[in-house]
Structures are given as C-alpha cells and as structure tokens.
Chains A and B, each alone.
Chain A
C-alpha cells in the first residue's frame, strides 16, 4: 500500500480529544498506558516468584496471591491501542520494519539508547503514577493539579536534556 502522509496535528488532536472525552463519558476514566506495562511486569514476577510479589507491598497491590493483574481496564485498552495503531498503519501504508533515529548514530546504538530511555521513563512513570497518556492527557483534561505539575516537569526534563543528547536525533 502506498505510504500516506500523517494527518494534520490539529485534526489528530481533536480526534484524540474526542476519544478521551468518550472515555470519560463511557467509563468515567481517562486513557492510560504505563499502568498496563506495570501489570505485565507483575504478571511475570508472579509467574517466577509469587512469594516475592506477596512480600513487597507495592507489588502485592497489583498481583498478590488471588489478584490477576490482567483483570484491568488498562490492559484491555492497551490491546485496543495496538490493534488500532496496526489498522491505521495498514491503511496508511506505514507498516514497515525500521528503526527511527538521527543520522549520526547507528541502528544498534539507537536500540541501546531506547532501552536506557525506556528504563528511565518506566521508573519515572511509576514514581509519578502515570505517563503522558494517563497524566498529561487525562489528568490535563480534568485539570488535576498534580497532573499539570507532572506534565510540565516531563517537558522541562525533556527539553532540558535535549541539547545534550542531540547526537541521537539530529
């Protein structure tokens, strides 16, 4: 399929806003993503070492004996995200095995930085109780004070570090 351009950001924003609004109207909650990842981590830990999960109060909340971490709204939402993104990519001819990166580094280097960046983000997301979807989008739309603070900090951290990692992207 011929590769199509992305849609206008404002159109995308309005559509995303409507999906977000619909989420509130239908389920009473906004969107999210990192929570589903955490459930997955706990599920793996449950499989390998249930005792460890039980003894750690933070983990036990998600997956103590008798609690199924996949029994959760976010998990199903994320499955939908993957499905929706795949369909959209299919129609737009954008399904292509590739690595996006700046011209100064190689694919492999990009992969290493992806792991590092992901690890930092994952850690921070748990500390802040959410990622850009749950905190910035959903918390932003409901005008939650803490969410706006976290959102500003995300941008501050990213813009602040950007200059020092510019080799990765430009």
Chain B
C-alpha cells in the first residue's frame, strides 16, 4: 500500500504544493488541448452541436474511477485516506442548478475559465471577475442561509458513496457507470453526426 503518497509519507505543505502545481500543469494542459478554453465550444454542448465536454468529462471520470477501483483491489491504495466529498443533498442540488444556469449564460466553469485566461480569451476575464463577485455575494449571504447550506435543511448524509448507498461493491457501480458512459458515447457520436458542427480549433 503506497498511496496516497503524501498522506502515507506525511508530506509537508511545501512538497504537497509543489506537486499540486505539477498536477495543475497536467490539468490545464489537457483542458486546453481539448479545447476547453473556448467558451463557444463549451456552450455548444447544450445545443447538441459539440459534445466534447460530455465525452471528455465522462471518459475522465470513468478512467479515474476504474483506476481507483483496480488499485484498491490490488491493495495499493488506502481508500479511507482519500478525500471523498461529503453529501449535502439539498444545498448540493440547488447549487448545481444555479451553476448550470450560470454555465449556460457564462459559457465557462472556473477550471475552464482559467484555461481561457491563460490563452487570452477576453470573455474569460469577465467571467472570472463575475465568479469572484458571485462568491463575494455568497460570503455575505452565507450566515443567513446556514441551515440550508450545512444545517438542518441541507440534506447532510455524511460521506456516502454510491456503492454504500446501494449496498453493493464499488466494482458493481463502476460496471454500471461504464456501461452508461459507453452508451452515452455512442449516442453522442450519433448526435454529432446528425447535427454536425464540432468546433475544431
């Protein structure tokens, strides 16, 4: 069991941050190479003209998910040391819907907006400014909506994974997710062929 390396070897902040930077380079590189710096390309997902976002996201999720399941099965990773997002059903759902609306209007999400920023996309500058503004507003509102954010009405369920929720092993969920993703990819190919207008560069 060697992973997660930073946790098992008790790395200091300095080393952790160096690797954070390196991992970030990989992240940004792939995002830009896939065209995620271009807000029009991103927004065209929602008009079924360019389904790159769907393909990249789900391929990435499935790849990482499969990787985790396999190295866990090999006993190489300590899954209890992995940061798994906690579940806040209602605030998470509401936040998701608002994010979706913001995505359709703004054409970016934070990660891709930094990608655009790095390649001089002017609209990304405005998006980032807007996002900072929105977060500032949230900070001001936060104490008043605390019961919904993290209190009684948040739908807090602790750290619960899909497999724990359905009472199966992670591999079973992985299998289902993979099948759904593959079906989705075939569907996406078909749609793009019909609507055909991918932003190539």
Contact = CB atoms under 8 A, between A and B. Distances in A.
B102 interface: yes
Nearest to A95: B119
A31 B110 contact: no
Interface in B85-100: 85-89, 91-100
A115 B133 contact: yes
B38 A100 contact: yes
B7 to A, nearest CB: 4
A19 B117 contact: no
A95 B174 CA distance: 38
A147 B85 contact: yes
B22 A28 contact: no
A14 B29 CA distance: 13
Contacts, number: 548
A165 B81 CA distance: 43
B136 interface: yes
A10 B44 CA distance: 18
B17 A118 contact: no
Contact of B85 (A16, A121, A124, A130): A130
Contact of B28 (A82, A127, A129, A134): A82
A160 B71 CA distance: 38
B46 A100 contact: no
Interface of A: 3-7, 9-10, 12-31, 33-34, 36-38, 40-42, 45, 56-59, 71, 73-74, 76-89, 92, 94-102, 107, 110-162, 165-166, 168-170
Interface of B: 3-7, 13, 16-35, 37-41, 43-47, 49, 51-52, 55-65, 67-68, 71, 77, 81-89, 91-111, 113-124, 126-140, 142-143, 146, 149, 157, 159-165, 170, 173-174, 177, 185, 199-201
